[in-house]
Structure 1
Amino acid sequence: MRCSPKTGAGAVAAISLLLASTACQAGDLTSTTGDAETTITFLSGSEPTDVALTEGVVEAFEAANPDVAIQIETRPGGSEGDNLIKTRLATEDMPELFEYNSGSLFQALNPTQSLTLMSDQPWVAELTENFAPTVTADGQVYGAPWGAGSGGGVMYNAAVYEELGLEIPRTWDQFMANNEEIKAAGKTAVVQAYGTTWTSQLFVLADYHNVEAESPGWAEQYTANQVKYADPPALDGFTHIEEVREAGYINEDAGSTTLDEALAMIASGDGVHFPILSWTLESLAQNNPDAVDDIGFFALPGEDEANYGLTEWQPGGLYIPATATGPELEAAKRFVAFVASQEGCTAMSESAFPGGAYGMRSCTVPDSVPRGIKDVVAYSEQGNSTPALEFVSPVKGPALEQICIEVGTGTRSAADAAALYDEDVKKQAEQLGLPGW
């Protein structure tokens, strides 16, 4: 594999300069292509975890397929990376392989025109029920899972649970009763980390399984502007933030606490619950290896114990642009099939921390993952999970994290916050040109 700042003649000069400056920024990925008959290029993210995952999987594939060599390019993240992906597809300058978001951002790529159809590939039958829709357009599949998913719920200190004789809560009332026991024991019941602003959203976002369970089809109605966050059951997420604050269950320094500090509180047992995404267990395991076996994860409880389950963030997607042809197209399809196999999932697990389940029924995570990840995967394996709202609706307002912080710090009521978020969402939906807005 080689890192190669490849740009085609059709790309504008600005994009060429951008690619030249970012293609090798993640480090020296250069190696020889050996006796390979076909060489293709893979555009990957530039974050260290992205690079580690890509390098590991490419190395495993090349070892099993010596007639194919893969060059790796990297791209920036965030909106800059989004624009780069769209530009390279539009200018027909996209490499034979690229990884990108699944769900609503995948839909924004105009997949039926810009991507290679995958529905005829044998591995498609093994896609999980939750993942398949996130790479499907007009009833056809255009991508495979890239990396693992993640659970949205509550990280907790199981050693403290055992010490206090607590059981995993399956309703919100049970969760609040546990919080009261924990507070009485002199510990912080619910850790909040508003110093890392995105973490503030989990009481709302991780509640989506409960919303959908109580009101089936809510996402479709939400996308069509027929239901609101200001009304139950979606209002509950904002109300829960308010309730834990008013009960005195959160840390006093929540406004400045960072993600790493919150994870340290959970690891030490000074804090017992942390509403968060499960991939953050990687940081906890790295910084507190002696505590990781004491850290579990459970789904955010709702009102109905019978419908208890996990809100699940889906893996990203691996795609082939429609411009790929000939031997390069066939080599790219072989790589995608490898990634979608247990051999490929094993390579992913060995290269990067899996934060949850893979998007293939045929793939398993290794037994070596921490206890909390096993807890997350169990929900998926039991069919007791729902894709997060962002994977089934394109509507998400940019101000949600700040609005949630206002509720968590007592500067705005839950009801006012939900109504404000509905207005924030409206602006974005109108920009997307969605009908009904």
Structure 2
Amino acid sequence: MTIHIKAYLASAALIALTAITPAQAEVTLSFLIDNNPDTVAAAEALVEAYQKQAPDVTIEIEQRAGGGEGDNIIKTRLATGEMSDVFLYNSGSLLQALKPQQTLVDLSDVPAQAKVDQGFKSVVSADGKVYGVPFGTAMGGGIFYNRAIYQELGLSVPKTWAEFMANNEKIKAAGKVAVAQTYRDTWTSQLFVLADYYNLQAAVPNFAEDYTNNKAKYATTPAAMKGFEHLKEVHDAGLFNEDFGAASYDDGLRMVATGEAAHYPMLTFAIGALKQNYPENLADVGFFAQPGDDAAKNGLTVWMPPAIYIPAASQKIEEAKKFANFVSSVEGCKIMTDTNTVQGPPLIDGCPLPADVPPAVTDMLPYFKTQGLTAPALEFVSPIKGPALEQITVEIGSGIRGPAEAAALYDDDVRKQAKQLGLSNW
């Protein structure tokens, strides 16, 4: 009887102990992303892989609109404390508008940060703290070129603007369109100005800071004027397709892919569209940085990908940081490059490029392998980008307005934007 009582008591104690010892807690994280199909595909692949590693974690993906509507959603939800546990948003100057020191979690101590590109960290930082991890690869702003035309005419990739224009004259003399322009989609007209920023900062290292503080202007900075002047020069030389005013972005991609045009100034995010719409021509499209005045200082203006952030109001910060660490790991990076078309080099050290990347991506790699040959685009280092730039560049590229007048007009547009942002010194 005594033995039975002892066994019963031991069994009861074990049951009681089991009852008060909780199983590993299950956690549900919310993850807000934009509704771009590539974003959705990458996010779903990351979540699926992470949930296999952390079976007690469920991540629910929520989609939002892009553009201005998406910006308003982000700002409103942060302001009201209703932001998802993890969210995807722009890096660079748009991040600063979120006041990260007040609204976001410091991710400097996430272990995977040790392998994140320093240039990327610089555009998701404030007051020495890093608030984001990269979601996707870097992109370049420069010039796509048709490799078959270059081979046919015996041309070399230009390292200076003078060499670029000399190539254009040879292409024009051969009866071909030298430079595709596509002003039906007005945003495409900005590339000769925006992609020239590496050359601008190489000539005037403090331009971004002085520009933001109302101490430097496009119209009074000769190096900043170059992009406007280049656009006028290529127009005046008769290098464009005849229908440049009506042609679309898709037309520009078709022209450079099929050899209807030798060049198309564009961001390398277009590689995805090229792969989808002109897969048989993808190997004929190369890429180079917009050349400046000095071949020894030939470098690339870089557009950084968006980042993963965690709101300070989240109740699940530690679990969210573990997911952010996975996204920015070599494994997470590889999942993204395997899921979507690679638009440029990964920003995670040790993350391999797929073996079948197109030549336009391979052409970007040398710029990233040498310190100092890349610079983030101005919009990543200054909060000011006047909204009228694309209309102004259409006018220059159409011969309607000259560079000096256009630069002064843009400076005024920038002034209005700075006042709307409430920046000091304006």
The residue identity in structure 2 corresponding to 1:346 is: K
**Change in CA separation of 1:262 and 1:256 when aligned onto 2, cut-off 3 Å:** same
Residue 407 of structure 2 is matched in structure 1 by 418
**Change in CA separation of 1:309 and 1:377 when aligned onto 2, cut-off 3 Å:** same
Residue 338 of structure 2 is matched in structure 1 by 350
Residue 285 of structure 2 is matched in structure 1 by 295
- Report deviation, 1:270: 1.4
Paired with 2:247 and 2:361, the residues of 1 have a C-alpha distance of: 24
Q: Is the 8 A contact 1:341 1:362 kept in 2?
A: no
Equivalent of residue 145 in structure 1, options 120, 130, 134: 134
Alignment of 1:300-339 (within 5 A): 300-325=290-315, 328-339=316-327
Paired with 1:129 and 1:70, the residues of 2 have a C-alpha distance of: 29
Residue 284 of structure 1 is matched in structure 2 by 274
- State the number of aligned residues: 401
Gaps of 5+ in 1: 1-34
Residue 30 of structure 2 is matched in structure 1 by 41
The residue identity in structure 1 corresponding to 2:136 is: G
**Change in CA separation of 1:406 and 1:362 when aligned onto 2, cut-off 3 Å:** same
Alignment of 1:106-121 (within 5 A): 106-121=95-110
Residue 391 of structure 1 is matched in structure 2 by 380
The residue identity in structure 2 corresponding to 1:217 is: N
Alignment of 1:2-401 (within 5 A): 37-230=26-219, 231-325=221-315, 328-383=316-371, 384-401=373-390
Paired with 1:359 and 1:220, the residues of 2 have a C-alpha distance of: 25
Residue 430 of structure 1 is matched in structure 2 by 419
Q: Is the 8 A contact 1:191 1:274 kept in 2?
A: yes
Paired with 1:257 and 1:290, the residues of 2 have a C-alpha distance of: 22
Paired with 1:370 and 1:83, the residues of 2 have a C-alpha distance of: 36
Kindly provide the CA deviation profile for residues 45-75 of structure 1, in whole angstroms up to 9, marking residues without a partner as x. Answer: 1122221121111112222222211101011
Residue 31 of structure 1 is matched in structure 2 by none
Paired with 1:347 and 1:422, the residues of 2 have a C-alpha distance of: 42
Question: Which has the higher Rg, Structure 1 or Structure 2?
Answer: 2
Q: Is the 8 A contact 1:356 1:376 kept in 2?
A: yes
Paired with 2:302 and 2:249, the residues of 1 have a C-alpha distance of: 20
- Report deviation, 1:207: 0.1
Residue 9 of structure 1 is matched in structure 2 by none
The residue identity in structure 2 corresponding to 1:370 is: P
Kindly provide the CA deviation profile for residues 253-272 of structure 1, in whole angstroms up to 9, marking residues without a partner as x. Answer: 10111011111111111101
Query: Tell me, what secondary structure is at the counterpart of 1:131?
Result: helix
Kindly provide the CA deviation profile for residues 284-312 of structure 1, in whole angstroms up to 9, marking residues without a partner as x. Answer: 11111111011110000001111100000
Kindly provide the CA deviation profile for residues 106-163 of structure 1, in whole angstroms up to 9, marking residues without a partner as x. Answer: 1111111111111122222322121111110111011101122210000000111011
- Report deviation, 1:210: 0.1
TM-score after normalising by structure 2: 0.92
Paired with 2:306 and 2:193, the residues of 1 have a C-alpha distance of: 22
Q: Is the 8 A contact 2:338 2:354 kept in 1?
A: no
TM-score after normalising by structure 1: 0.89
Q: Is the 8 A contact 2:143 2:263 kept in 1?
A: yes
Between stretches 116-125 and 154-163, larger displacement belongs to 116-125
- Report deviation, 1:273: 0.6
- Report deviation, 1:278: 0.6
Gaps of 5+ in 2: 1-23
Paired with 1:240 and 1:48, the residues of 2 have a C-alpha distance of: 35
- Report deviation, 1:331: 1.9
Residue 20 of structure 1 is matched in structure 2 by none
The residue identity in structure 2 corresponding to 1:333 is: K
Over aligned residues, Cα RMSD in angstroms?
A: 1.3
Q: Is the 8 A contact 1:149 1:354 kept in 2?
A: no
Q: Is the 8 A contact 1:315 1:358 kept in 2?
A: no
Q: Is the 8 A contact 2:271 2:341 kept in 1?
A: no
Residue 23 of structure 1 is matched in structure 2 by none
